[in-house]
């Protein structure tokens, strides 16, 4: 296998983390909205947890993107 083909395959596999991040962000906000509709008084207490979950899920996707870019352009 050529090096260029291996780089493309590796970068594509590393980008799977972006799909996982999108799914997890959707689940985080969907579950928060569902819980806020059931118990509006507790929604403000859970908002910091929402932001923390969003930040961690987004960071996972960004790490996958950085790994893909490193594979493509650094080697």
pLDDT, block means (10 residues), the chain with 75 residues = 90 90 94 95 93 94 93 88
Handedness of CA 4, 6, 61, 35 (dihedral sign): positive
pLDDT at 62: 93
Instruction: Say if pTM beats, i.e. exceeds, 0.85.
Output: no
Contact 69, 7 (CB under 8 A): no
Neighbours of 58 (CB within 10 A): 15
pLDDT at 75: 74
Question: Which residue from 61, 54, 56 is spatially nearest to 30, judged by alpha carbons?
Answer: 54
CB crowding 20-33: b at 16 or more within 10 Å, else e: ebeebbeebeeebe
């Amino acid at each position: 296998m050529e090096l260029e083909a291996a780089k493309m395959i590796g970068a594509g596999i590393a980008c799977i983390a972006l799909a996982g991040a999108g799914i997890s962000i959707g689940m985080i906000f969907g579950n928060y909205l569902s819980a806020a509709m059931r118990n509006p008084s507790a929604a403000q207490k859970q908002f910091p947890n929402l932001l923390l979950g969003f930040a961690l899920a987004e960071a996972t996707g960004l790490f996958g993107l950085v790994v893909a870019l490193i594979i493509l352009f650094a080697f």
